[in-house]
Chains A and B, each alone.
Chain A
Amino acid sequence: MAHIQLKNISKIFGNHTALTGLDLDIADGEFFVLLGETGAGKTTTLRLIAGLEKPSGGQVFIDGVDVAAWGAAERDVALVLQQYSLYPRYTVRENLEFPLKPKIRRLPDAEIKDRVDRAARTLRIEHLLDRKTDRLSGGEMQRVSIGRAIVRKPRVFLMDEPLSALDAKLREALRTELKNLQMQLGATFLFVTHDQIEAMSMGDKVGVLNHGRIIQTGTPHEIYNNPRDTYVASFVGSPPMNLIDGKLVNGRAVMAPLNFELPFSAGAKTFAGAGTSAATEGRPLVFGIRPEDVYLESGAPVEARVHDVENHGVEKILTLRVGDTMLRATVPARTDVAIEQPVRFAWNPDKVVLFDKGSGVSLRHAS
């Protein structure tokens, strides 16, 4: 169990800057998810913590100790890689025993057996123990590679997109298993993913990484409801938050190409924080609203046409068109709509997030 801190980390590969001024604080026993697109620097961050890469600048602390000079072995971390990295030609049992067997820290045989059996039971791979690793399916391989991490009781678990190569059903199952495992062990987890659903469902805390910088860290709830900028707003959530250009005029949101306006409540103003003062009047803004906070109602203020309907079973995602502005709305599946049908919609004025048009930063975070 450990507390991990990264301070002002930067990493440069040749002429490519992978990370810049990265600060990260992962509390002991926390399930921290690092979320970002491919190439954002997630894997690099993980490898820096594991000691497989050296930072170009900045420091890594594990339990308050600067580990710059430590190799991967001394850091006592476990790393689960996307490509499983099982040792070929060995059985599952031999793979699980591998980290326990090196002579220097050789455990007694009974202890090794006990730990392997316990890990196998936790991951439900007991029946595979004597099988060769090349005769396993993807999901089984990934479990074995997670098993190899947990037999050791490392200080930190680092997981590099361990689920992304699996099919949807298995991914869902392992997601729950991993989360349960983390709670059982009470261990510190750093989980890297590009999948925002994984981030939302598993993380105690989520850090959104973009172009080698941490944009925002917070609980999934904070990230979802109070994104720091338009990048986070559009990256997190499926479908993403609607972002519409406009400005505030007399307490009403007037959308920029002046094709519609919506009420903007006083409640939302206080929710939006001190940044929403008189100075906001007339200033170019981006209004952010989650699709589920847009609703259809016969007496609603704005008329739109249904541009597209996606049926997701429990709900339908509508794309509405107002002039040339598109926005998404999540409606119950029983809502009966047809493409090109005129509808009226409104938003929940309390849930509107205001972003500065120029910087893209949320007004709530700006001050």
Chain B
Amino acid sequence: MVVSVLNTLDPQSRAAARGWSDLTIRNIFIIPTVLFLIVFNIFPLIYSLGYSFTDFAANRNVPWSFVGLQNYRDLLADQRIWTNFVITAKYVIVSVGGQMIIGFGIALLLNRDFPFKGVVTTLLLLPMMLSAAVVGLFWQLLYSPSWGPINYILGLRNFGLLSDADTALYAVAITDIWMWSPFVMLLSLAGLSAVPKHLYEAAAIDRASSWYTFTRITLPLVAPILMIALIFRTMEAFKTFDLAYVLSVQPTTELIAIKLYRLAFQQWDTGRSSALAYIVLIMVLAITNIYVKYLNKVKER
């Protein structure tokens, strides 16, 4: 099919005048991309798969040896790694859950006509356009126990939300919610505005309460796009590094990505960190796959 489209090269065009065939043009567009992908994505991916079976260390110029599945065995048996996974899971659930609820809630509020709707929507989108490092630095100031406004408003005095082992992870999650709720909001708004108005009118005529209308009409129609938002946010949250790294140094906020970073670039345990990276990759793929299966089911209904 693609080829048949490409065959219709306009004989009057400049490309034709230069004697380029449609195949040449296709290659001009595709080959750089493919090369880029191979050099920067596929090659490192496969190379690191190789590393994951060795005891290679990138900072030492010593011969390395093949260790088979030893790295994987060690990692999966390591209690501390599992703690990192539990932390990550907690973080993903809290932060993605919060984003979904708040983002969708704001979208519901915005899904009507009011003055300056465009300006308000744009302003609400700002957080997600900022750099995570900058957001982290700002929220560090906001959370500051000595003069941060959050402690002042909540009356927490010198209690450091970010330096307390129990609250630090939630404080990071709240920052993430602040930053990424607009993303969910944006997608939800698109979904909500696609629900035809006459359905709401029909439901009003059918004497459905607003809750009944919401659960029976709005939610099912917006569900597929909410699922997409959920997939994106879960994947991103699972990989979170920057925000948590900037905000907190507590061991309770050591997400799997941070652990990975430390393993790879502080302990220089390249082989083992490659193995961990693969474990994470497989987990993210698995979770995403479950979502995608469910998404297809939702769409089919």
Contact = CB atoms under 8 A, between A and B. Distances in A.
B127 to A, nearest CB: 33
Given A79-B202, A98-B216, A104 B221 contact: no
Contacts of B198: 81, 83, 85
A89 B204 contact: no
Nearest to A71: B204
A73 B216 contact: no
Interface in B165-211: 196, 198-199, 201-209
Contacts of A105: 207
A58 interface: no
Interface string B124-162: 000000000000000000000000000000000000000
A76 B207 contact: yes
B143 to A, nearest CB: 44
Contacts of A152: 206-207
Nearest to A151: B206
A78 interface: yes
B221 A98 contact: no
A52 interface: yes
B209 A89 contact: no
A267 interface: no
B217 interface: yes
Contacts of A71: 204
B220 A89 contact: yes
Interface string B277-301: 0000000000000000000000001
Contact of A73 (B199, B204, B221, B301): B204
A289 B212 CA distance: 56
Contacts of A51: 204
A87 interface: yes
A347 B27 CA distance: 81
Contact of B202 (A81, A101, A102): A81
B220 A98 contact: no
Contacts of B201: 52, 72, 79, 81, 85
A77 interface: yes
B204 A72 contact: yes
A101 B216 CA distance: 11
A98 B199 contact: no
A87 B217 contact: yes
Contact of A72 (B205, B209, B217, B301): B205
A103 B199 contact: no
A52 B212 contact: no
Residue from A52, A99, A102, A103 having most chain B Cβ neighbours under 10 A:
A102
Nearest to B207: A73
A148 B206 contact: yes
Contacts of B208: 73, 98-99, 102
Interface string A59-79: 000000000000111001111
Interface string B211-250: 0100011001100000000000000000000000000000
A313 interface: no
Contacts of B209: 102-104
Given A81-B198, A83-B198, A89-B220, A98 B206 contact: yes
A102 B202 CA distance: 14
Interface residues of B, number: 18
A89 B202 CA distance: 15
A89 B207 contact: no
B212 A89 contact: no
Nearest to A76: B207
A152 to B, nearest CB: 7
B199 A78 contact: no
A1 to B, nearest CB: 17
B191 to A, nearest CB: 13
A52 B204 contact: yes
A50 B205 CA distance: 7
B207 A87 contact: no
Contact of B199 (A50, A72, A85, A99): A85
Interface string A75-109: 01111010101011100000000110111110000
Interface in A94-152: 98-99, 101-105, 148, 152
Contacts of B212: 101-103
A83 B198 CA distance: 8
Interface in A223-282: none
A148 B201 CA distance: 14
B204 A87 contact: no
Contact of A78 (B196, B205, B216, B220): B205
A85 B202 contact: yes
A152 B206 CA distance: 8
Contact of A79 (B205, B220, B221): B205
27 contacts: A52-B204, A52-B205, A72-B201, A72-B207, A73-B204, A76-B207, A78-B205, A79-B202, A81-B202, A83-B196, A87-B202, A87-B203, A87-B216, A88-B199, A88-B221, A89-B220, A98-B203, A98-B208, A99-B207, A102-B207, A102-B208, A102-B209, A102-B212, A103-B212, A104-B209, A148-B202, A152-B206
Interface of B: 196, 198-199, 201-209, 212, 216-217, 220-221, 301
Given A50-B205, A72-B207, A105-B207, 6 more contacts: A72-B204, A88-B199, A89-B221, A98-B208, A102-B207, A148-B206
What 10 A-B pairs come out closest when comparing CB atoms? A99-B206, A85-B202, A73-B207, A72-B204, A79-B205, A85-B198, A102-B212, A102-B208, A89-B301, A72-B205
